[in-house]
Amino acid sequence: MSPSELPVPDHDLEGLQRLASEGRSLRDIADLVARASRTEDVFQLAAIEASRQLDGDAVTITRYTAGDEITVVAAHAGPTPIGTRIKFGPGTQPYRVRHQKSSVRVDDFRLEVNAALAEKYGLRACVSVPVIIEGVVWGAFSATSLTGPLPRRTEDRLESFAQLVVTTIANIEAREELSAIAQHDLAIRLLAEQSVTGTSSETAVAMTVAHALTLRGVARASINPDPMTLSSPPESPTSTAEDHLSLSYPIQTHERTWAYLEIEAQAHQLPDTTSARLGNLAQVAGQVVSAILTRLHLRHLAEEQAALRRIAELIASGAAPSDVFHSIAAELSRLLADSPVVLVRFDADGPVIAAACQSGIAAGTRLPAVKETPVERSQRGSRHLDEITSAARWVFGGDAEAHAGVPVTVADQLSGALLVAPRPDSTADPAGTDLEAFADLAAATFANARAREALIASRERMVKAANDARHQLQRDVHDGAQQRLVHTILALKLARDRGAHGMSTAALIQEALMHAEEANRQLRDLVRGILPVALTRGGLVAGIESFVTDLPVPVTLHLLLPRLPGTVETTGYFTAAEAITNAIKHAHAEHVDVAAWLSEAGDELHLRVRDDGVGGADPDMGTGLTGLTDRIEAAGGTITITSPPGSGTDLDVTLPLSSASQHDRDR
């Protein structure tokens, strides 16, 4: 009889059959693992086959999902369905499996610390073996009984199935690691292509990076632009639970933080290479975003310069101020993604809208002026800031700090304000736009408009002054010399009639002579007032000396001048004469000091008239100083008047000689 034909004891035959059946079960599970099946399917098959090998006892595969919690991931014939979460405490079977990293047998749950929980599920006994992955207890493979203790060697049999679970998880991790590497490499390549082609945007970069964050173990991934809402400081992982981890990686652009990569994950499930991979991804993303921001900045700068050039060309073409103001508002609004822009002008009657775009406010709308006393204004602080803030609040409403505004100043005086209200849904940032450059163009237009208005007003005053002078001359001749000449004619006619009758005519002839001489004197005075002989013959020095000869108050002269162009001498003479007359007649001065000299370069005449009168002269109040200012400015000169009340008046005039010489040659 051959050995194969020898009889086999029944108990050995039963063991061999059990081993064969167990081997088939393990092979079936291994085949499923090899086919890269779903994790859930592998776990469930392992539970079913293990239960079959244990004669139908309930089998459960659990996973440690938090510090004191397990989750059922597969179950067969047991009381706990898949997905059930169970809390455990110290001394319990899950606690001992996790900390001892070895199998744990419970033959009577009534003696355990969690007897109540076991009673809830009707459990009497249990055997659990740990599922250990890279030294960390991932979960447990457990068999439970509703009647009594499980057979011996149950631990060994469960261990075989647990090893298949470990293999399954290892294969899954390997596949996920390869997938993560592929996603990371793809993201790096896409970012590089976006940087080179220049066709990307910040949003595209964010989407590319976010896609690369779909890693194993990552529960949440985001790109956070606000560092104040970070769950942890940049580049510093923090543990929010026993095995829960939060990480943040800054995306740096031009030495500033553009955003943060943030992830929350289970620490025991996060691959070791994740941190380095995310750091590398953040670095590359920062480089791409830097290139995008630089490109956007250059594009914005080019558009800004083009807008400024168009406005400047409009100003140079002599366009109406209203057209220039509208162009400023429209160009700036277009540059800032159609954000509302308003240009406000501050005039004597208060703020008024000079131009508006995308705001719904019409040009010419007058804003309410702030009513306050001079003392209140002096105590209010910065007028620029207050008036601009007040205008922005009235125009846009709400919080004025949410708006951007820059002053429009002319000659260091607040003339207006350029206001911008960025749209909440817009990425346009007024801080990245040179608002001051647009305000400067508005200031130039304000200044041009004021200069044009002042020129027109000056011309009107000069025409009126010339007409008034002609009318005055007409009255002076009519009331003076003409009346004397009429009397002379009448006296001579009477003398002729008396002489024809042989009567005496001596008295009439004497009367006629007296009237004729008086008429001659008055005409001479009129001519001297128009253009003194001393001025035309002796120059500015002689003219001023002649003028002050018969004045009722002493006048001190400091005149060190050669002969000058006729236009300069005439303008200087009448300036000095009018200033002296005003000092005596209106300021009640008791002494006047007049000085005149040439500049070191010899191209300007400086004239200074000082008096000790009452002061308080203001050329803006329509006094005689207004005509004086017009005369000086018409000659291309400048005039400065200092006249504090009670301290006299200082008048300083500068007249260029070059323009006067050209004027004389043209004549």
**pLDDT single digits (tens) 589-612:** 999 999 999 999 899 999 999 999
pLDDT at 16: 45
CA distances from 488 to 478, 491, 505 (A): 14, 5, 13
Alpha carbons 341 and 355: distance in angstroms, whole number? 8
pLDDT at 247: 73
pLDDT at 379: 42
- Sheet with 256-266, side-by-side order of all strands: 218-224, 256-266, 244-253, 238-239
**pLDDT single digits (tens) 479-536:** 777 888 888 888 888 888 888 888 888 888 888 888 888 888 777 767 666 677 788 8
CA distances from 503 to 495, 497, 617 (A): 9, 9, 63
Burial of 144 (0-12, 13-18, 19+ CB in 10 A): buried
Question: Residue 426's closest CA among 288, 334, 331?
Answer: 334
Q: Using the CB atoms, write b or e for 557-572: b if 16+ within 10 Å.
A: eebebeebbbbbbbbb
pLDDT at 553: 92
Alpha carbons 614 and 587: distance in angstroms, whole number? 5
Q: Could you tell me the end-to-end alpha-carbon distance of the chain, in angstroms, rounded to an integer?
A: 154
Alpha carbons 230 and 243: distance in angstroms, whole number? 19
Tokens read off for 572: 């200087």
Question: Residue 98's closest CA among 74, 146, 65, 143?
Answer: 65
CA angle 518/523/528 to nearest 5° reads 125
Spell out, as residue ranges, where the chain has pLDDT lower than 50.
1-6, 8, 10-11, 13, 15-17, 196, 198-200, 219, 227-242, 372-382, 400, 665-667
3-state SS, residue 352: strand
DSSP 461-496: HHHHHHHHHHHHHHHHHHHTHHHHHHHHHHHHHHHH
pLDDT at 360: 76
pLDDT at 192: 53
Alpha carbons 609 and 578: distance in angstroms, whole number? 10
588's torsion region: left (phi>0), alpha (psi -120 to 50) or beta? left
Does the pTM surpass 0.75? The reply is no
CA of residue 643 relative to chain centroid, distance: 44
DSSP 183-250: HHHHHHHHHHHHHHH----HHHHHHHHHHHT--TTEEEEEEES-GGG-SS-TT--EESSSSEEEEEEE
Q: Using the CB atoms, write b or e for 590-611: b if 16+ within 10 Å.
A: eebbbbbeeeeeeebbebbbbb
**Any idea what DSSP says for residue 366?**
B
User: Can you list the domains of the chain with their CATH numbers?
Assistant: 3-175 (3.30.450.40), 198-298 (no CATH), 318-453 (3.30.450.40), 536-666 (3.30.565.10)
Tokens read off for 12: 């050995």
On average, the pLDDT of the chain sits at 76
